[in-house]
Structure 1
């Protein structure tokens, strides 16, 4: 999940903390991350269609860990699929199906240890699993929200608007979206890694000094993201080096064409600009106004743009009705 190689590149600003350090704060949680983690422990049962709630137990243990340390959890779930990611989701679905077939075959042969790895790769978090966790959250009066589209954008909005103080996830995309305080690798003992955006200038493996959100986002997107066809062989370090030297995406692409064996997909610059919309203007739900809004305010000169990358708008009344349906699930 996220931008491959980005977190190791920021290792010099990883702060190893205890979750108790964040006592008194409201932390938003990527609910699907905890569901995925919990699903790994019961992957075989889930893939075989057997009844289990171990994934809910895993997530609720983390919820209670936060509450024990006087932290208020605010759990965010993915909503409807963003059309711009359909290609990525289709590829992932095919991979899971292939792993599922291999797992079941090995399991039938009695090779349970070998099958375990394939079961883990085949497991998927479904809306039904999210529903089971939502019921558990409601039973303990824990705040949650289902994003209209992707949880990443919704998490970013909640932090940006001051509704939460930080985010718990395993997805480095939250840094690309512009989040200021992100906690990774939270374990059962309360250990975690904190990355703060204010420390980017202190990174030692690469130079981020003087860069703003646009340059950081450009570096990450060039190295490969879910919204954009990748340039095979172009990693995050090389993307950083090229963007530092050539300043703009156009300059980087020109340099690659003139002096590199890397193959740029057709219409890449156009696709890059439209994919960037997902990081800037994806639609999210504002719990205060009870309507859908864009992550950032749209420029007045926006002109025609592609809804596939931000999600379609919903009438405020319909948006409110959908949230009411969630509340009674």
Structure 2
């Protein structure tokens, strides 16, 4: 989940803050991050079909923690499957099924500790589990919304229109979506969280790799992330973040980088790569989200004259759906 290696690359601008520093603000929360963390405590029960609500208790404990420090949470849930991630989701489903089978096999042998390790890997958050959390949120009058597609784009939109002041997640993709204030690694014991501000990108210092974002545009940062591999497009083999950064610094655009890679012949660029790159970029820019102020689906950012049916389907069509919001 997210861009591999991005958070370590931004270590120099990560700031530890106490939750009390956000008092009086509204923070959006990626619900599935908390739900996924919550299932760790009850993975065996879930994998073996036993009833449990420990994952709801986990999430609600953190909701109450935020409110204790004067923070109003705004919980955002994933919605329908995004067409752009069909391949990624299919691979994840296959791995979950394999891990479940291994867990059951180990449990049958009496190796319950080893079985739990595989159960943790196979358990997925289901819509029914999300609904159980929604019921708990309603009971305590906590704001929430179910996105039409991915929570990431919905979180970014809520910040963009000023409904929230920052985003709590564990997904570095939010930085690629252009979010300004992203919060990671909530420590509910010490009530501290790690903050990354988009405004500090020009201060990034990586002595080992020499990476600097001084003078870089959002488009270049987004291109670097996509070239290195993301949920919407696998990387070109052998191209990680630092290679993508170095080549973009020299050649400026993704098109030029790919052209150079093909001419050098040292790395294999998949056929049709740039077409898929542009579609991946559209997912970061124009994915469909729900606007709670207008009560309708909109694009994360406005589309241009080059918009076509293929792009429309890739980022999530404008279907008639019921978006749960409170």
Same-fold status (TM-score > 0.5): yes
Of 290-299 and 167-176, the range deviating more from structure 2: 290-299
Once residues 86 and 309 of structure 2 are traced to their aligned partners in structure 1, the CA distance between those partners, rounded to angstroms, is 22
Tell me the equivalent position of 1:116: 116
Tell me the equivalent position of 2:195: 194
Tell me the equivalent position of 1:270: 275
Instruction: Give every structure 1 segment of 4 or more consecutive aligned residues whose post-TM-superposition deviation is greater than 6 Å.
Output: none
1:251 aligns with 2:252: no
TM-fit CA distance, 1:297:
1.2
Q: Deviations over 1:178-204 (max 9, x none)?
A: 000000000212121100000000000
Tell me the equivalent position of 1:45: 45
1:219 aligns with 2:224: yes
TM-fit CA distance, 1:258:
2.5
* Contact preservation (8 Å) 1:230, 1:265: no
Tell me the equivalent position of 1:58: 58
- TM alignment of 1:165-204, pairs within 5 A: 165-189=165-189, 190-204=191-205
Tell me the equivalent position of 2:214: 209
Tell me the equivalent position of 2:235: 230
Give the SS at the match of 1:60. helix
* Contact preservation (8 Å) 1:28, 1:166: yes
Once residues 300 and 159 of structure 1 are traced to their aligned partners in structure 2, the CA distance between those partners, rounded to angstroms, is 26
TM-fit CA distance, 1:305:
4.4
TM-fit CA distance, 1:161:
0.4
Aligned length: 321
* Contact preservation (8 Å) 1:223, 1:236: yes
- TM alignment of 1:91-106, pairs within 5 A: 91-106=91-106
TM-fit CA distance, 1:307:
2.1
Q: Deviations over 1:123-178 (max 9, x none)?
A: 10000000000000000000000000000000000000000000000000000000
TM-fit CA distance, 1:212:
1.2
Alignment CA distance shift 1:79-1:216 (3 Å): same
TM-score by length of 1: 0.95
Q: Deviations over 1:256-281 (max 9, x none)?
A: 22325322111000110111111111
* Contact preservation (8 Å) 1:82, 1:308: no
1:151 aligns with 2:151: yes
* Contact preservation (8 Å) 1:223, 1:235: yes
Q: CA RMSD in A?
A: 1.3
Give the SS at the match of 2:157. helix
Once residues 32 and 241 of structure 1 are traced to their aligned partners in structure 2, the CA distance between those partners, rounded to angstroms, is 34
TM-fit CA distance, 1:8:
0.3
Tell me the equivalent position of 2:74: 74
TM-fit CA distance, 1:47:
1.0
Tell me the equivalent position of 1:290: 295
Q: Which runs of 5+ in 1 are unaligned?
A: none
TM-score by length of 2: 0.96
* Contact preservation (8 Å) 2:144, 2:325: no
* Contact preservation (8 Å) 1:229, 1:265: no
TM-fit CA distance, 1:301:
4.7
* Contact preservation (8 Å) 2:16, 2:195: yes
